[in-house]
Amino acid sequence: MRTDIQYIKGIGPRKADALKSEAGIETVEDLLYYAPRRYLDRSSFKSIVDCFAGETVTVTGTIRGLSVAGKRGRFLEVVIDDGTDRLSGIFFAGIQYFQKIFLEGSTVIFSGKIDVYRGKRIVHPEYDFIDEDSRVKSIHAGRLIPLYRSTEKLKTLGFDSRGFRRAIRSAIDEYLDEIPEPFDSDMLGRLGLLPLRDALMAIHFPDSIEDVGKARQRLAFNELLFLQVYLRISRMRLQQELSKKKPAIDPGILDSFSGSLPFELTEDQLGAIAQIVGDMERPFPMNRLLQGDVGSGKTVVSMAAALVAAGRGEQTAVMAPTEILAAQHYRNFQALIPGARVIELLTGNMQKNRKAEVLERVKTGECSILIGTHALLESDVVFDRLGFIIIDEQHRFGVRQRALLHEKGEHPDLLVMTATPIPRSLALTLYGDLDITSIRAKPRNRLPVRTLALPESRLSGVYRSVEKYISEGRQAYFVYPIIEESSSIELKSAINAFEILKNDVFPDRRIDLLHGRLPSKDKDDIMRRFIAGEIDILVSTTVIEVGIDVPNATIIVIQHPERFGLSQLHQLRGRVGRGEKQSFCVLVYPDEISAEAKRRIDVLVESDDGFRIAEEDLRMRGSGEFVGFQQHGHGAGFEFADLASDIDIIGLAREEAASIAQHIPDAGKVLKSLIEGAVPAGMPGLLNSLRKRKILSLLS
């Protein structure tokens, strides 16, 4: 099964190199696990006499003639007859090749869309041949036909869907019997799964759409089970190898902190703090994800945890993705944490003298909490006793960056935070090695953001409303999906809109423009001025920082909401509603949009629950496009699993993985062998796939 792809009949070294570089197919195993992207149903034959223009049909007949015709563009016409009527197959390319394979008197299957021009015809039909005894079943026509992902380079080498089908058929004929079945018949029966060989055959050459569903379920289970086993072993290794005695926690610190706050913590916040402190008391490092809807108060929870760490003599590092967000955290920590703790800010733009002072305080242990950006990763940042790490907006950081910070302490506790609620199926699958805490409730003094969806024909009324609120001293955002106008895309650009808003619509207001192409220094300066109230209207692309807290900004107008995913729109909406005043989110869509786009917009109007919106976003768009994740295929590196619909299979895989993990005595040794490539028999598809797509590192 690890046989090089070049040894499959008809491939060879040149085509093998292209398959490796273009599709990541290196072995026979990779080819067998190369999932069809969709299927065409060509299983029902029609008599030619019953075929009409515009129909997609499958017919069979005897070849009665071949001719090359056409004045401007030459083409080959292959005429077939089924006894009821005649039909032509038209081929504009590969004429010499087709002249060799289509022989008068042989029986052929054609599938495709009927066109009528001097008779019935199909241009470039899918085709196959039927032996005289009809015992050899077609793999290209007259059945459910799998279609595969390809590239222009692969197609020039013959690897369109037809070429893939031919190669996969050869691989199945030669190697299918060598594939081991990892599960016994009792387990397959208990879980209702197909045998692995049957599943691989059916995913590529199914007899019915029901066969496809059963095959995909089995292969999805394989992928999900292996990943769950990997995550459980990773978690076990952490607990087995990194256990140590930790200093005791003083519960009075939390009581003092909560009593000093100018507001009352929600039940969700109190529960989150209790879970985190419970983790910190365990003998092995904490590894927890704290997810909460926009404005749910995650930062206060992280403050409490940082105070607990400081109370037992440990330092805390808080890493944020931008200087604006880091500075905001610094201000909030200083405002709410008792002054006895030394809190410092470290960013890349600090003056040398000030930076040296901060670094010295961190090195000596005088600084209890260090907040910063990527600057925390620099080699001159040396902690005295780093015991706790908080990473905000964790998906904005790479694995290596998180590892560099982790290495500055001795197996510190780790809390990663995200304001993008993660759907349950994604959380169970991708974060199986993390404990997950969710904060759903909003602070009691927050009013829900009122969301309105209006067509562009009512834009003038939106402008009047914005002017009214700005005259009352409030601020507004205008968000656009692109920076500059494009002749090929009819979308309003941020630059063009900025000029119109500044010169024509709001000439007396202070307006500025923010987008990703600006230098970092300019972006930071614009955001600082907006936070300080020196800008009335901020015109922006989606570069507006997640988590930025500007209570006076109470209106956000989003143009072309149909161009965004639900979760991204919800994140943008979260830029307002940060204070006690009523806030508004106005979605301005074109007068004519698709029904699907309107359904997405309606979900946002009807709900401000980020968790529900995340589930809807996953269901509508799939995990591959879910905000914060960059994935392939169905998402998360899977060929067969679909995290938007496979919650039941995920549950089965987690249960079986838990059972398997109970019988693993040395998790560290097993994990090492997996990372080095010793994949369990029968679960070959995912680990290699994860490594090639650089996803394994995200999970380790």
Q: Once rounded to an integer, what is the mean pLDDT over residues 348-368?
A: 93
Using one digit for the tens of pLDDT, what is the confidence trace for 546-571?
Answer: 667 899 999 999 999 988 888 889 98
Q: Once rounded to an integer, what is the mean pLDDT over residues 655-668?
A: 75
Q: pLDDT at position 383, please?
A: 96
Q: Out of 233-242, 286-295, 297-306, which region has the weakest mean confidence (pLDDT)?
A: 233-242
Alpha helices in 60-103 (DSSP H): 95-101
DSSP string, 19-65: HHHHH---BHHHHHT---SEEEE--SB--GGG--TT-EEEEEEEEEE
Q: What is the DSSP letter of 4?
A: B
Q: Out of 46-60, 447-461, 529-543, 654-668, which region has the weakest mean confidence (pLDDT)?
A: 654-668
Q: Taking 80 as the threshold, does the pLDDT of residue 700 lie above it? A: no
For the chain, how long is the longest CA-to-CA vector? Answer: 96
Q: Where do the structural domains in the chain lie, given as residue ranges?
A: 44-142, 198-241+636-699, 251-439, 450-607
Q: pLDDT at position 547, please?
A: 64
pLDDT band of residue 631 (cuts 50, 70, 90) is very low
Q: Please provide residue 59's backbone torsions phi and psi, each rounded to the nearest 5 degrees.
A: -130, 160
CA dihedral 77, 80, 81, 87 (to 10 degrees): -50
DSSP-derived 3-state class of residue 681: coil
Using one digit for the tens of pLDDT, what is the confidence trace for 99-142?
Answer: 888 989 888 888 889 999 889 999 988 887 764 443 345 565 55
Q: pLDDT at position 453, please?
A: 95
Q: Please provide residue 272's backbone torsions phi and psi, each rounded to the nearest 5 degrees.
A: -65, -45
DSSP string, 301-366: HHHHHHHHHHHTT-EEEEE-SSHHHHHHHHHHHHHHS-TTS-EEEE-TT--HHHHHHHHHHHHHT-
Q: pLDDT at position 626, please?
A: 47
Q: Taking 50 as the threshold, does the pLDDT of residue 496 lie above it? A: yes
Q: How far apart are CA 365 and CA 382, in angstroms?
A: 10
Q: pLDDT at position 670, please?
A: 64
Q: pLDDT at position 391, please?
A: 92
Q: pLDDT at position 508, please?
A: 94
Q: Out of 490-499, 574-583, 588-597, which region has the weakest mean confidence (pLDDT)?
A: 490-499
Q: pLDDT at position 126, please?
A: 83
Q: pLDDT at position 476, please?
A: 96
Alpha helices in 533-591 (DSSP H): 566-573
Same topology between domain 44-142 and domain 251-439: no
DSSP string, 251-300: HHHHHHHHHHSSSPPPHHHHHHHHHHHHHHHSSS--EEEEEE-TTS-HHH
Q: Once rounded to an integer, what is the mean pLDDT over residues 289-300?
A: 86
Q: Taking 60 as the threshold, does the pLDDT of residue 436 lie above it? A: yes
**According to CATH, what is the number of the domain 251-439?**
3.40.50.300
Q: How far apart are CA 483 and CA 495, in angstroms?
A: 6
* Amino acid code (one letter) for 131: D
Q: Once rounded to an integer, what is the mean pLDDT over residues 646-669?
A: 78
Strongest mean pLDDT among 234-243, 476-485, 659-668 = 476-485
Q: What percent of the chain has pLDDT over 90?
A: 38
Q: Classify burial at 257, counting beta carbons within 10 Å of its beta carbon; exposed 0-12, middle 13-18, buried 19 or more.
A: buried
Q: How far apart are CA 697 and CA 602, in angstroms?
A: 38
Using one digit for the tens of pLDDT, what is the confidence trace for 23-34?
Answer: 889 889 889 989
Q: pLDDT at position 404, please?
A: 86
Q: What average pLDDT does the structure give for the chain?
A: 83
The CATH architecture annotation of domain 44-142 reads: Beta Barrel (2.40)
Q: pLDDT at position 633, please?
A: 32
Q: Once rounded to an integer, what is the mean pLDDT over residues 417-430?
A: 75
pLDDT band of residue 471 (cuts 50, 70, 90) is very high
Using one digit for the tens of pLDDT, what is the confidence trace for 131-183?
Answer: 444 334 556 555 677 888 888 788 888 888 888 988 999 999 998 888 888 78
Q: Taking 80 as the threshold, does the pLDDT of residue 338 lie above it? A: no
CATH 1.20.1530.20 fits 450-607, yes or no: no
Q: Out of 143-152, 345-354, 672-681, 686-695, which region has the weakest mean confidence (pLDDT)?
A: 686-695
